[in-house]
Amino acid sequence: MGLRHYLDSKVAPHFHEGGKLEKYYVFYEMFDTMLYSPPDTTRTASHVRDGIDLKRVMMTVWFATFPAILFGLYNTGYQANLQITEFGYSPIEGWRTDLVALLAGFDYTSLWANMLHGAVYYIPIMITVYVGGFIWEGLFAWKRGHEVNEGFFVTGILFTLILPPAIPLWQVFLGISFGVVIGKEVFGGTGKNFLNPALVGRAFLFFAYPAQMSGDAVWTAVDNFSGATPLSLAASGDLDFAAGLTGNALAGQGMDLSWMQTFLGGIQGSIGETSTLAILFGAALLLITRIASWRIMAGVVVGVVALASLLNSVGSDTNPMFAMPWYWHLTLGGLAFGLVFMATDPVSAAMTDTGKWIFGIVIGLMVVMIRVLNPAFPEGVMLAILFGNLCAPLIDFFVVQANIRRRQRRTAGGAA
């Protein structure tokens, strides 16, 4: 209450109409509503009123990412500490090295040592994303004379979780800038964008800086170490999908690799995408609160199972990805994270119930198609969801038209 009173009596008057900082009100309002609920709410009868507003929706999605964040911190540190202690690698040269040195008093195999080492890489990425994003959000809101929307809270946190831990911070800033400006603000801001802004930023970085976004050296925060992701190993034929790891593909990585290991998540990958189990905890919260669409999630799974099973039956002597079962597809790469947090974005996804099924199935089919039929690009989730975003308005259009024709036939039949 003391802070609320101080803001209202000492700070707010300078930003309200007539105050010396009036033209910067949008920035004050942005930080004020981060701390407290907006004081002005619609009360007239012509509006639908509910117990949850946009801020509560965004905060719920934000909380749903916490299991993935916490496991991402642990896994980032675990992968690096494993190489330092078992194989003698050094932390990546730079300002982070001194911070990592603070862990010298810890047992490098302990939970807290792994969490702290992971935080040394994740927290700077998160700070860079939110500073960069709020700069652009604030500038556009200031220019347009409206409030800063809460949607960036979710966009920012999702963007941090689909990046490799060793990515340079200047690329993080470029990526979130491109995602916010080109993926959202040029179309009018939150609610008017037809593409997922976080994925737009990720796509920009992938095609502009492929070595830093997909190279084998970016997944573990140590110097002179190169470790392929499980999807890359699968594409090269180094995975036996029945037995797990074959040969010496992970020699020097100290990593066991079975389907259960990929489900739990102690593997190479983007910060928040490795643990399907952690992601499922977030999915449960979103489904219980009815914030995410179960139809879209189920549609993605249906598309993956259908096409993967078909390709399994067809087989290939030259492409090992044809043999990947659907349950491996679901735990490798960013598919689980994408179907829970990205495909269900209510702004860029289909709106109709039938359209949500079709939208999800299209994404699932596209993921498997890209992964299997294009071995040079083994991930596929990012492009599949962006393709689904482009198709969403068309899907809804045809669903609505089909409903109209069906009603017209019923009406004509009743009149006859």
Residues 215-229 have pLDDT tens digits of: 788 888 887 777 778
Segment 10-22 shows an average pLDDT of 69
3-state secondary structure of 244: strand
Take residue 117 and report the two structure tokens written for it. 């080492």
Q: Are 383 and 203 in contact (CB under 8 A)?
A: yes
3-state secondary structure of 389: helix
pLDDT at residue 117 tops 90: no
Share of the chain above pLDDT 90, in %: 45
pLDDT at residue 362 tops 50: yes
pLDDT of residue 33: 62
Tokens 């963007």 sit at which residue? Answer: 159
pLDDT of residue 137: 85
pLDDT-derived band at 29, boundaries 50, 70, 90: low
pLDDT-derived band at 261, boundaries 50, 70, 90: confident
pLDDT of residue 143: 77
Residue 181, Cβ neighbours under 10 Å: how many? 18
Kindly provide the residue ranges of all beta strands, DSSP E only, lying in 138-243, ordered along the sequence: 239-240
Q: Tell me, what amino acid is at 18? A: G
Q: How far apart are CA 245 and CA 256, in angstroms?
A: 7
Per the rule left: phi > 0, alpha: psi between -120 and 50, beta: everything else, 16 is beta
Virtual torsion, Cα 352, 357, 363, 364, nearest 10 deg: 170
pLDDT at residue 80 tops 50: yes
Residue whose C-alpha is closest to residue 60's, from 412, 361, 364, 344 = 344
pLDDT-derived band at 125, boundaries 50, 70, 90: very high
pLDDT of residue 354: 95
Q: How far apart are CA 251 and CA 192, in angstroms?
A: 48
Tokens 């709106």 sit at which residue? Answer: 351
Q: Are 251 and 83 in contact (CB under 8 A)?
A: no
Mean of pLDDT over the chain: 83
Tokens 């009815």 sit at which residue? Answer: 290
- Lowest mean pLDDT segment, chosen from 191-195, 322-326, 382-386: 191-195
pLDDT of residue 249: 42
pLDDT-derived band at 41, boundaries 50, 70, 90: low
Higher per-residue confidence, 105 vs 395: 395
pLDDT at residue 233 tops 90: no
Per the rule left: phi > 0, alpha: psi between -120 and 50, beta: everything else, 61 is alpha
Segment 77-102 shows an average pLDDT of 75
pLDDT at residue 48 tops 60: no
Q: Are 253 and 246 in contact (CB under 8 A)?
A: no
- Lowest mean pLDDT segment, chosen from 71-75, 179-183, 212-216, 397-401: 212-216
- Domain coordinates in residue numbering, the chain: 60-214, 292-407
Higher per-residue confidence, 129 vs 113: 129
Is residue 410 classed exposed, middle or buried when 0-12, 13-18 and 19+ CB atoms within 10 A define those classes? exposed
